[in-house]
Chains A and B, each alone.
Chain A
Amino acid sequence: MEAMGGSSRGMSREKIITNLQQAVYILNFAVVCLVAGSMTFSIWRIVDAMEAEAFLNLIRVRPWKPRTIWIASITGYLCLVLLSCLGQLWEHKGKHVRFFITAGEMFLCIGTTVALNMNYNGLVLLVVADLVRGQRGSRQKLILGIAIVGLYTIVNYNLTGNYFNMIPWEAFLTGYHTSTQAFLKGTLSVLASMNLVLFILYMVMLIQGEYQERERIQNLNEQLEEANRKLKEYAVEAEKNAEMRERNRLAREIHDTLGHALTGIVAGVDACLTMIDLSPEATKQQLEKIGQVAREGMTDVRRSVKKLRPDALEKLELEEAIVKMLRDAGAASRAEIQFQNQVKPLRFHEDEEEVIYRVVQEATTNAIRHGHADKITISISKTDQWLTIRIEDNGIGCEKVEEGFGLKHMEERLSLLEGTLGYGSREGFYIIARIPIRWGEEHE
């Protein structure tokens, strides 16, 4: 809703700027016509009144032909406006186009002002407005500043008119009656002031627009940050919830399976203790039942544990699960991961499979996250009853192994299976895990 409001405000502002610009174009056209026209007509009047000699004695340089003054001023000005419009239309056509248009505008501005004998310097404002609108970055601001000062200096009659041998407007005005002179001077000064007012308005609108745009972006940024923060909170909460749910499930599971079985076993053992002297035969039967309950309990426990295993391992074979996991990791990080398995089929006990899966997963994650590797090689091989997993990468390696890399965790997992873990830096980082597999033992 807020963004919509900002946008519609922007539209109307843009419209005002466009209107202001057109007003500036038309106003300056009027001024150029007034100044050039008064100069041209003045010459004709002076000739008609036979005051040419006196006029020549008054000035320091011969004026252009009356027709030339008129044509050059109007043509120069029209070209300037044309370039100014093209500059707006081609705003996004790149640096070079903008540079040429700006240079052209400056040239035409100076040219037209000289054609007007520097008797009107308001055209600079038009060019300055275009410069300000097109400027980007702080270095350009510096260039812009220099350009504005330079332009203003060049076209200022009081500063440079003397060196350029320009004819002051007052000299031309001598061709008119005093009241006409006053009227022309007044009109020019009003028009010039209006031009200045329009320019200031234009600049205010432009700067205001820029300010509003910046404010809007800042606003959006703040909103984004807020959303991010909330998202993080949700994530933490969700994790907590999941953990809680898992704990509850475990508690229930333990209660339902182990608790149930142990209760039965405890009760059965108590019965056996009472019965053993009276009827060893009955006790024997009783113990068999207890054994049955214990076995059933164990099955239940196994089923529960199975539910805690990683998804991929639960659904897929170990090799497929590893390949899938590596593919996902590779796709996410754009690292090239090679997996060489020399042990076929890759089927072990569940606890062994899980440790293998976890070791590969952890090592790969480390290589990508900490080593910034883009090439990782994983190989699994066997020697006697030892299964060896080698994970090598071409990342930055590390001089000193820090905590939190998950190595400790891996070591713990491996030690449960009486395995070992070795690692170090050598053109990247490498990890070697060795696990004594219970080969030939039956597994489910």
Chain B
Amino acid sequence: MKEQDSEGNGFMRYGEKRMIWIPAVIGILLLSIAGGCICYSLWEKRQGTVLRFGMIAGSYWDVPTGNCYEVVDTAIRRFEEKHPGVRVEYVSGILKEDYSEWLAEQILLGEEPDVFMIPAGELDMLASLGVLKNLESLIEKDKEFESGNYYPGAYRYGNIRDIQYALPYESVPTLMFVNKTLLDREGIDMPGKDWTWEEFLAVSRQITRDADGDGLVDQFGCFDYGWKEAVNSNGIELFEKNGITSHFADSRVEAAIRFVRDLNEINEGYAVSAREFDQGKVAFRPFAFSEYRTYKPYPWRIKKYSDFEWDCIKLPAGPEGTGRSGLDTLLMGIGSRTGQEALAWEFIKELCYEEETQLHLLEASQGMPALRGAVESPLLQQVLGNDIPGNNNMNVEVIRQVMEEAVEAPNFRRYPAAMNLADGEISRMVNGGRSIDSGLLKLQREINGLLRQ
């Protein structure tokens, strides 16, 4: 027994000699790695407190714009004054079409900004990748912050599966463009605030005719009014918030599609184009508020739609809806890897929750502030009035009502794919190629299947 022990130790010593160099080499390597990391963090610390902001240059709303940095620069200046020693940096000149790629690159390199604009439709992807910070705890801790101050559609757009990941910065609702000159010529009154599908249909029928007598129809009721607008204005949401159930078979959807089909039938198969609209031959067109803001005032009003008078009103209400419109919202979020959570929260609030910034948006941007307080200020009347000198301008109450009722597009990941599928099927139904009620049932089944994949 004893002999065996000593023999075992002999083995050990033999093994030890050969193994000792490995720990030594590894120890040196580990020490150098640790040294490198410490040096790097020290260097980083000397850079001071910097908050990085990711923003889109130019207009988010695809309309010409002046100084796109004006609102943000002012907000940054205010923020830096409130927080001495903190610097906010952003990379300028990243256009909307490049922004997604730029942001993705920053994310991959681990250098995404602390606060950044979220490209349209990418909220779900960014949230599920873990790029975005869950704002719930920050919202809960912040006594000043009241989510009810936002328009519900705008605020909900930043919410994924009951978690708020982003705050709305500015929104753009869809309105109805009305060619007033055309209506006047036909002796038709401007539709009222609560106009309906019936009125819309009646006016369209009245307008659609051969005006110059060359045997061809050259005046049209509407352009670009699709089933999505009809569904929204008939008070139904196509998808559950969870993104795995759809309601295409609902009777309200069916009614909306029948309505669109009726509307299309007026044109007797003629496909109205944007050119006819620009020439002033079309009475109605769904229109983004940003375009209204852009093309209504000088100088842009001269460039476009200069041959006729026009204005915007609410969308017509369906029999079971209120004529609410879709709402497009620009969101901002906080990077989950930010080292300055509190500062980032303060900054995102400076942009999205500070009334001063939001009021500034009214003046300097083409969107609507997402904050109710800013929209309800007298400034709105003033701004819209300044834009349109001498005209009976748009009713401020209407725009407030539209904002209040507007419904956001779903933001789950498969929404674009589902809508693609629905678009194809429904346009076939609208063109009469397929029965509506059985087609919708089938479509709902297909889309639910797609959503559950």
Q: Point out residues on A near B: beta carbons under 8 Å.
A: 7, 10-11, 14-15, 18, 22, 25, 43-44, 46-47, 50, 52-53, 55-57, 59-68, 71, 74-75, 78-79, 81-82, 85-86, 88-89, 91-92, 165, 217
Nearest residue in B to A75 (C-beta to C-beta)?
Answer: B33
Question: Contacts A18-B19, A85-B19, A92-B12; is A56 near B27 (CB within 8 Å)?
Answer: no
Give the residues in chain B near A81, CB-CB below 8 Å. Answer: 22, 26
Cross-interface CB contact of B104 among A56, A67, A78, A88, cutoff 8 Å: A56
A55 touches B101 (CB 8 A): no
Q: A50-B101, A57-B125, A89-B16 are in contact. List 4 more A-B contacts (CB 8 A).
A: A53-B100, A62-B130, A63-B108, A89-B19
Question: Contacts A62-B131, A82-B27; is A22 near B22 (CB within 8 Å)?
Answer: yes
Cross-interface CB contact of A43 among B4, B12, B100, B109, cutoff 8 Å: B109
B101 touches A86 (CB 8 A): no
Question: Contacts A18-B18, A60-B129, A61-B129; is A53 near B101 (CB within 8 Å)?
Answer: yes
Tell me if B105 counts as interface (CB < 8 A to partner A).
yes
B: number of interface residues (CB 8 Å): 32
Give the residues in chain B near A64, CB-CB below 8 Å. Answer: 110
A65 touches B22 (CB 8 A): no
In the complex the two chains form, what is the Cα distance from A88 to B27 in whole Å?
Answer: 16
Min C-beta distance of A161 to chain B, whole Å: 16
**Chain B 421-432 interface mask (CB, 8 Å, partner A; 1/0):** 000000000000
Give the residues in chain A near B37, CB-CB below 8 Å. Answer: 71
Min C-beta distance of B99 to chain A, whole Å: 10
In the complex the two chains form, what is the Cα distance from A169 to B29 in whole Å?
Answer: 27
A91 touches B109 (CB 8 A): no
Cross-interface CB contact of B108 among A22, A52, A60, A78, cutoff 8 Å: A52
User: Can you give 24 contacting A-B residue pairs, CB < 8 Å?
Assistant: A11-B11, A22-B18, A25-B22, A46-B108, A52-B104, A52-B105, A52-B108, A55-B104, A55-B108, A56-B104, A56-B108, A61-B129, A62-B129, A62-B131, A67-B110, A75-B30, A78-B26, A78-B30, A78-B33, A79-B26, A82-B27, A82-B30, A85-B22, A85-B26
Give the residues in chain B near A75, CB-CB below 8 Å. Answer: 30, 33
Most interface-central of A43, A78, A79 (chain B CB within 10 A): A78
Min C-beta distance of A202 to chain B, whole Å: 14
Question: Contacts A79-B30, A89-B19; is A10 near B11 (CB within 8 Å)?
Answer: yes
Give the residues in chain A near B33, CB-CB below 8 Å. Answer: 71, 74-75, 78
Give the residues in chain A near B18, CB-CB below 8 Å. Answer: 15, 18, 22
User: Once A and B bind, how many residue pairs between them come within 8 Å at the CB atom?
Assistant: 95
Give the residues in chain A near B66, CB-CB below 8 Å. Answer: none
Give the residues in chain A near B125, CB-CB below 8 Å. Answer: 56-57
Give the residues in chain B near A65, CB-CB below 8 Å. Answer: 109-111
Give the residues in chain A near B19, CB-CB below 8 Å. Answer: 18, 85, 88-89
Most interface-central of B20, B100, B107, B108 (chain A CB within 10 A): B108
Nearest residue in B to A53 (C-beta to C-beta)?
Answer: B104
B27 touches A66 (CB 8 A): no
A43 touches B108 (CB 8 A): yes
In the complex the two chains form, what is the Cα distance from A82 to B23 in whole Å?
Answer: 5
Task: Tell me the interface secondary structure of chain A in the complex.
Answer: helix
Give the residues in chain A near B148, CB-CB below 8 Å. Answer: none
Min C-beta distance of A44 to chain B, whole Å: 8
A7 touches B100 (CB 8 A): no
In the complex the two chains form, what is the Cα distance from A390 to B22 in whole Å?
Answer: 74
Task: Tell me the interface secondary structure of chain B in the complex.
Answer: helix
B23 touches A85 (CB 8 A): yes
Give the residues in chain B near A60, CB-CB below 8 Å. Answer: 128-129
Nearest 6 Cβ contacts at the A-B interface: A65-B110, A52-B104, A52-B105, A53-B104, A62-B129, A47-B105
In the complex the two chains form, what is the Cα distance from A85 to B110 in whole Å?
Answer: 34
In the complex the two chains form, what is the Cα distance from A68 to B41 in whole Å?
Answer: 13
Nearest residue in A to B101 (C-beta to C-beta)?
Answer: A53
Tell me if B240 counts as interface (CB < 8 A to partner A).
no
In the complex the two chains form, what is the Cα distance from A169 to B23 in whole Å?
Answer: 30
Min C-beta distance of A140 to chain B, whole Å: 18
Tell me if B43 counts as interface (CB < 8 A to partner A).
no
In the complex the two chains form, what is the Cα distance from A110 to B45 in whole Å?
Answer: 31
Give the residues in chain B near A86, CB-CB below 8 Å. Answer: 23
B129 touches A88 (CB 8 A): no
Give the residues in chain A near B27, CB-CB below 8 Å. Answer: 82
Min C-beta distance of B109 to chain A, whole Å: 6
Min C-beta distance of B33 to chain A, whole Å: 6
In the complex the two chains form, what is the Cα distance from A79 to B30 in whole Å?
Answer: 8
Give the residues in chain B near A52, CB-CB below 8 Å. Answer: 101, 104-105, 107-108
A14 touches B11 (CB 8 A): yes
B30 touches A88 (CB 8 A): no
In the complex the two chains form, what is the Cα distance from A7 to B11 in whole Å?
Answer: 10
Residues B100-153 near A (CB distance < 8 A): 100-101, 104-105, 107-111, 125, 128-131
Min C-beta distance of A401 to chain B, whole Å: 41
In the complex the two chains form, what is the Cα distance from A167 to B433 in whole Å?
Answer: 45
A62 touches B107 (CB 8 A): yes
A47 touches B108 (CB 8 A): yes
In the complex the two chains form, what is the Cα distance from A74 to B15 in whole Å?
Answer: 25
Give the residues in chain B near A78, CB-CB below 8 Å. Answer: 26, 29-30, 33
In the complex the two chains form, what is the Cα distance from A75 to B30 in whole Å?
Answer: 7
Residues B1-32 near A (CB distance < 8 A): 4, 7, 11-12, 14-16, 18-20, 22-23, 26-27, 29-30
In the complex the two chains form, what is the Cα distance from A339 to B26 in whole Å?
Answer: 71
Give the residues in chain A near B105, CB-CB below 8 Å. Answer: 47, 50, 52
Nearest residue in A to B336 (C-beta to C-beta)?
Answer: A62
Nearest residue in A to B7 (C-beta to C-beta)?
Answer: A7
Min C-beta distance of B74 to chain A, whole Å: 31
